[in-house]
Amino acid sequence: MREMICICCPMGCRLTVDDSDLNNVKVSGNTCPRGEKYGKEEVICPKRMVTSVVRVDGGDVAMLSVKTRDAVEKSKIFDALDALKGVVVKAPVKIGDTVVENAAGTGVDFIATKNVSAR
Amino acid sequence: MKEIIIIGAGVIGCSIARELSRYDAKITVIERENDVACGTTKANSGVVHGGFDAKPGSKKAFYNVRGNAMFDKLSKELDFPFRRNGAYVLCFDDTKWDGLKKLYDQGIANGVRDVKVVTGDEVRQREPYVSEEVKGALWCPSSGIVSPYEMTIAYAENAVANGVEFVFEKNVERLEKDGDKMKVVCEDGEVYTADLVVNAAGLHSDDLNNTICDKKYRIVPRKGEYMLLDKTSGYLTSTTLFQLPTAMGKGILVVPSVHGNILLGPTAVDIEDKECKDTTYDGLAEAFDKARITMPSLTKKTVITQFTGLRAHADAGDFVIGFAADDLPLYNLIGIESPGLTAAPAIAVDASEEIADYLALSFNKKFNPVRKGIPCFATMTESERAEIIKKNPLYGRIVCRCEVVTEGEIVDSINRPVGAKDLDGVKRRTRAGMGRCQSGFCSERVMEIIARERGIDMTEVTKSGKGSEILVGRVE
Amino acid sequence: MSVKNLIIIGGGPAGLAAAKSAYDAGERDILILEREDKLGGILNQCIHNGFGLHTFKEELTGPEYAARYIDEVLKRGIEYKLGTTVLSIDKNKRVTCANETDGLQVYEAKAIILACGCRERPRGAINIAGCRTAGIFSAGTAQKLINIDGYMPGKEVVILGSGDIGLIMARRMTFQGAKVKAVVELMPYSSGLNRNIVQCLNDFDIPLMFSHTVVNIKGKGRVSSVVIAKVDEKLVPIKGTEQEIKCDTLLLSVGLLPENELSKMADVKLSPVTGGAIVDDDMMTETDGIFACGNVLHVHDLVDFVSEESEWAGKRAAAYIRGEKTSGDKVAIDAKDGVRYVVPQFVGRNGDETLRLKMRVGNVYKDVKLCVVCDGEEVYAKKCRIVSPGEMETITLNEKQTRALKNCKEAVVCLKAVK
């Protein structure tokens, strides 16, 4: 049994999710179908986009912002972040450039979210 | 050459340093903090008192009135902001007129010019936001306002220009007699020897005296909490508004600052801890509630910051100024609480003359009394602004948007003698971070400039001295 | 002195969108003045995602969202100056600004769009007692230090205020190895988005304490702990409920204030509720030819709505420059019964563009309808299961409703209970 707040709309319904059987998850407390879907996903395989920064060498800014190309399993967030430690990217960089491939074996790449010109 | 050591770089230490630099001597100011004006000097009402409060015949009365008269010339010579805005002492109770009368008589006895008793309506005519409850007031036109730390910085810079040296972050532990000289023993083991020591250690002037003299003093830190309102509230009053004084001090003021803010406070609570600079929930509430008696329309909406100051209240009651009784080459300045700021210029003149006599000093022929402050972009005309950016393009980069402070001013504040070392130092010299956003936007830019100009890492930049590093490391 | 048709003050999301749409409406003589060294404004430091769902139908990070608009501005060759601070404007639309290379510059503009954003409420404004040591930051300052400069402002953190920036920073600092010990919220509800509470706090087991505030900050040199306490219904701390939390950093996320210092110089009339200008449906202030949009007008929660509002302002400013005045007689829209404010505050009687009204409510209400009432008649109603001060509400009127509003004597936006 898990309690959570639905994030689909400002209602913020308090969901109770019965996750004793992952093949038959039961959601209650929701007031619309979106809540049920959200509740199920959150117990079966919650995923999050991860954003952070890495250092840039020779750029017109000090830091490059990055994000995961796709959402990462919630339990792997910190593994993914670890893969950014010590990474230095050479300028120039364009939005969408791959910064770290397959971060910590999550299968997800980190890509640049900022255009950085060379200094 | 005779050697003089001044301990303490508040307004007293710095003004004496500057006045002593009129003479040929090797003068060193030793200060515990990393800047001047870090103690009582930086956190007070900034009022240049008229001189009607102090008991006739006291040193407080004598130096107050003399000091007050010096400000017009001094502020021009040393280029610090000062304004003679006048003050009212407000009386809210028809039965307390004799209180006003007593102040009036004291003022006359002390030689304060042009004091008079006026009606409540007369007060409200000049200051329409003053409470309807005000029945009458003492009007003192010679009362003024000053920026205490800018005044002290000006003194210090001029002292340096005339040969004085400053040693910062050096904590003096005790004084020792060394033949007919004095030894100044510091916490870090360093020992200085001098022909004369000036004790201008403010809150700690009693402790310093007590390390060597038989005659002991005791200073009780008297805590005062303040609230500062944004310049948008500057219209509330242009004169200084006191309430009839109490035994603990001059009561809660509503007073404009030279830069156009409004200050409420101070409370007055005697405490033990000389390092306590915390504000308290109750203290701030008291400051606000009592200020509201003077001005009922005050709201907290435009408050931008709060601070605490400690007054060096000596249990003796009056200023202690002069050579220590024990026939030592030690010149004491103890218990210089209010009106110490007003009195400082006059005290400094007398003290330096006495010291010069004692050490038989000759005049410093190269003494230059004039100091120029940092050109202030915010108060310049358009053409002056255009001109200064042409000369120094860094004046075209506005760093603090609230107070309109440029990179040019910040760089200057760091690189001039007795320059700013950290955020608070820059703030006191340029007003960067003093405005309504309270450095939210500019602190990071100012940190970068400090790091660059001082050749240190960003992580070494402090807010106010060692242990106040702002950043804890780099993002890994 | 130079002459410009349109000067846009601020090169953040509002200014960029206004410039793009003014250009697309035919205006070519545009100048954007930006005080930072990059276009994009505060979005550059908002590296988290969640931007652009309305505008681009995809989730972007702040810098990506900014880049889309920067590209549009560059593509059109719109002139801009960086590192340039506007020092003054007046009601005759004289603009004085300065930068390092051009020195002091004076422009005379036909129209000005204020797009200068907002600032964070500082510690002083909320009267927290305690020490004044290092380690106290507004959340946005901390965000800039980490994301733009690459420095950590602290290791053990308490955050006061559960606005979105505070929530985002709780996660951000956690990602960088800091320990966020608590987020403390004065009100019994958060002004942040649910999604942020879940994904920034709950995901990392960071406690969110409602009806609590910081009553003391302790430390010498640097913060060493904060004392928090529960507050009563009047938001006054309750004695005896204090608890001390060890930390080296206090982040403040206690509200944003439109930055209208320039507006005041030009006699632009401000609303005491929004803190921004009072505008008509052209986004024009009561000072002729001066427009306002984005967070300088009223604080938004979604940048998408800033862009939309600013595109409209840019379009109307271009029309104004061409001499198409839609203003003239105006009807005031009152915010009442639970609605704190509505923007625009006035609607011109002329013009046939359908209206969009933006508003915020004063409290959390459930099962209500947002209504537009003209001369006592309900011309529009939108049922809401919940409204809260943290979420801006938008009403889009159709042609008929717009006409009813433009032609009435008394217009009111209010909340009504749904039976």
Domains of chain C, by residue range, sit at 1-119+257-327, 122-254, 329-419
Give the residue numbers in B contacting A (CB under 8 Å), as ranges: 475-476
pLDDT given at position B399: 96
Question: Mean pLDDT across the stretch C205-228?
Answer: 95
Are B166 and B126 members of one domain? no
- Bridge-based pairing state of the strands A110-112 and C330-335: unpaired
Closest Cβ–Cβ partner in C103, C127, C153 for B386: C103
- Please state, rounded to an integer, the average pLDDT across all residues of chain B: 94
Range of weakest confidence among B53-62, B324-333, B394-403, C176-185: B324-333
CB A17 within 8 A of CB A42: yes
| Residue C146 to residue B472, Cβ atoms within 8 A | no
| Residue B468 to residue C123, Cβ atoms within 8 A | no
DSSP annotation of C199: I
- Please state, rounded to an integer, the average pLDDT across all residues of chain A: 91
- Contact residues on chain C for A74, CB-CB shorter than 8 A: 203
Query: How many angstroms away from the CA of B37 is the closest CA of chain A?
Result: 36
DSSP-derived 3-state class of residue C63: helix
Domain contains B103? yes
- B441: confidence class by pLDDT, cuts 50, 70, 90: confident
Are B261 and B163 members of one domain? no
Token digits of residue B22: 């009129």
- Bridge-based pairing state of the strands B144-146 and B47-48: antiparallel
State yes or no: pLDDT of B327 exceeds 90. no
- A10: confidence class by pLDDT, cuts 50, 70, 90: low
Are B225 and B165 members of one domain? no
> Which residue in the block uniquely carries the two structure tokens 């340039």?
C84
- Contact residues on chain C for A5, CB-CB shorter than 8 A: 194, 197-198, 202
If you classify domain C329-419 with CATH, what class do you get? mainly beta
DSSP annotation of C160: E
CA distance C93 to B202: 53
DSSP-derived 3-state class of residue C370: strand
Question: Mean pLDDT across the stretch C95-103?
Answer: 96
B389: closest chain C residue by CA: C103
Report DSSP letters for C173-197, one per residue: HHHTT-EEEEEE-SSSS-SS-HHHI
Are B381 and B443 members of one domain? yes
Measured from the Cβ of residue B327, the count of other Cβ atoms closer than 10 Å reads 8
Cα A109 to chain centroid distance, Å, stands at 11
pLDDT given at position C138: 94
pLDDT given at position B112: 95
Phi, psi angles (nearest 5°) of residue B323? -65, 145
CA distance C65 to C17: 11
CA distance B146 to B150: 8
C64: contact with A, CB 8 A cutoff: yes
A112: closest chain C residue by CA: C64
State yes or no: pLDDT of B442 exceeds 80. yes
The ipTM estimated for the assembled molecules is 0.93
Phi, psi angles (nearest 5°) of residue C180? -95, 115
Fold equal for C1-119+257-327 and C122-254: yes
CA dihedral for B34, B35, B38, B43, sign (positive or negative): negative
Span B357-403, pLDDT tens digits: 999 999 999 999 999 999 999 999 999 999 999 999 999 999 999 99
DSSP-derived 3-state class of residue C10: coil
pLDDT given at position A31: 82
A94: contact with C, CB 8 A cutoff: no
B405: contact with C, CB 8 A cutoff: no
- C350: confidence class by pLDDT, cuts 50, 70, 90: confident
State yes or no: pLDDT of B211 exceeds 90. yes
Host H or E run for residue C356? strand C356-361
B281: contact with C, CB 8 A cutoff: yes
State yes or no: pLDDT of C327 exceeds 80. no
Q: Give the residue ranges of DSSP H helices in B50-126.
A: 59-78, 97-110, 120-126
Q: Tell me the CA distances in angstroms from C317 to A38, C305, C311, one per residue in order.
A: 43, 18, 10
Are B275 and B413 members of one domain? no
Give chain C's length: 419
Query: How many angstroms away from the CA of B444 is the closest CA of chain A?
Result: 14
Are B131 and B240 members of one domain? yes
Q: In C, residues 387-416, which contact A (CB 8 Å cutoff)? A: 387-388, 390-391
Are B421 and B289 members of one domain? no
- C190: confidence class by pLDDT, cuts 50, 70, 90: confident
| Residue B401 to residue C35, Cβ atoms within 8 A | yes
- Contact residues on chain B for C221, CB-CB shorter than 8 A: 465-468
Residues of B that are catalytic? 49
State yes or no: pLDDT of B248 exceeds 90. no
pTM, full prediction: 0.94
pLDDT given at position B275: 86
pLDDT given at position B249: 62
pLDDT given at position B247: 64
Report DSSP letters for B435-462, one per residue: STTTTTTTHHHHHHHHHHHHT--GGG-B
Domain contains B70? no
Cis peptide before B339 (omega within 30 of 0): yes
Query: How many angstroms away from the CA of C201 is the closest CA of chain A?
Result: 12
Per the model's pLDDT, the better-predicted residue between A19 and A98 turns out to be A98
- Which residue, among A29, A90, A99, A97, has the nearest Cα to A56 in the 3D structure? A90
CA dihedral for B150, B153, B159, B162, sign (positive or negative): negative
Range of weakest confidence among B151-155, B201-205, B267-271, B434-438: B434-438
CATH number of the domain residue B455 falls in: 1.10.10
CATH number of the domain residue B244 falls in: 3.30.9.10
| Residue B476 to residue A85, Cβ atoms within 8 A | yes
- The HSE-up count of residue B72 (CA atoms within 13 Å, CB side) is 6
C176: contact with B, CB 8 A cutoff: yes
Does domain C1-119+257-327 match CATH 1.25.40.10?
no
If you count residue pairs, one on B and one on C, with CB atoms under 8 Å apart, how many are there? 139
Question: Mean pLDDT across the stretch B275-294?
Answer: 91
Q: What is the amino acid identity at position A36?
A: E
| Residue C175 to residue A53, Cβ atoms within 8 A | no
Q: Tell me the CA distances in angstroms from B303 to B284, B285, B442, one per residue in order.
A: 11, 12, 19
Measured from the Cβ of residue B461, the count of other Cβ atoms closer than 10 Å reads 25
Cis peptide before A10 (omega within 30 of 0): no
- Contact residues on chain C for A64, CB-CB shorter than 8 A: none
Q: What is the CATH code for A51-112?
A: 3.10.530.10
Range of the domain at B241: 83-144+220-313
Fold of C122-254: FAD/NAD(P)-binding domain (3.50.50)
CB B197 within 8 A of CB B175: yes
Query: How many angstroms away from the CA of B474 is the closest CA of chain A?
Result: 10
- Contact residues on chain B for A86, CB-CB shorter than 8 A: 476
Question: Mean pLDDT across the stretch B143-156?
Answer: 98
pLDDT given at position B314: 87
pLDDT given at position C345: 95
Question: Mean pLDDT across the stretch C133-146?
Answer: 95
Token digits of residue C189: 């509800």
CB C31 within 8 A of CB C115: no
Per the model's pLDDT, the better-predicted residue between B6 and A5 turns out to be B6
pLDDT given at position C386: 85
Domain with CATH 3.10.530.10 in chain A: 51-112
B396: contact with C, CB 8 A cutoff: yes
Are B165 and B302 members of one domain? no
pLDDT given at position C274: 94
Question: Mean pLDDT across the stretch B174-203?
Answer: 96
Are B113 and B229 members of one domain? yes
A52: closest chain B residue by CA: B475
Token digits of residue C150: 């690459």
| Residue B304 to residue C122, Cβ atoms within 8 A | yes
Domain contains B231? yes
State yes or no: pLDDT of C64 exceeds 80. yes
C386: closest chain A residue by CA: A11
Phi, psi angles (nearest 5°) of residue C229? -150, 155
pLDDT given at position C57: 87
| Residue B475 to residue A53, Cβ atoms within 8 A | yes
CB C276 within 8 A of CB C258: yes
